[in-house]
Amino acid sequence: MSTFKEANQVRLKLKMKYSQYAWYSSSVVISTDDGFGIVMMAHQIDNKIRKLISPVVDGISVKTELE
């Protein structure tokens, strides 16, 4: 079970890593069944982007959604 603080730290780490890409839009912390997770918003999503973003980072689930 992840806490909000842990999820937010991972969100900030991912924001710093991916904010330089044109496809990146924003990211938010969401409540999930097992604690908290992250949703990353993108202007476009293709297989290359899906492979770039890991579905789990430091035990926090990460979803990618189209904006």
CATH number of the domain enclosing 53: 3.30.300
Helix (H) or strand (E) holding 65: strand 60-66
Q: Which residue ranges in the chain fall short of pLDDT 70? A: none
Which residue type is seen at 66? L
The phi and psi torsions of 54 (rounded to 5 degrees) equal -75, 140
**Global pTM value:** 0.89
Quick one: tokens of 60?
């926090």
Q: Which domain holds residue 27?
A: 4-66
Residues in the chain, how many? 67
Q: Is the CA virtual torsion 39, 62, 29, 9 positive or negative? A: negative
User: What is residue 67's predicted lDDT score, i.e. its pLDDT?
Assistant: 87
User: What is residue 1's predicted lDDT score, i.e. its pLDDT?
Assistant: 82
Number of domains composing the chain? 1
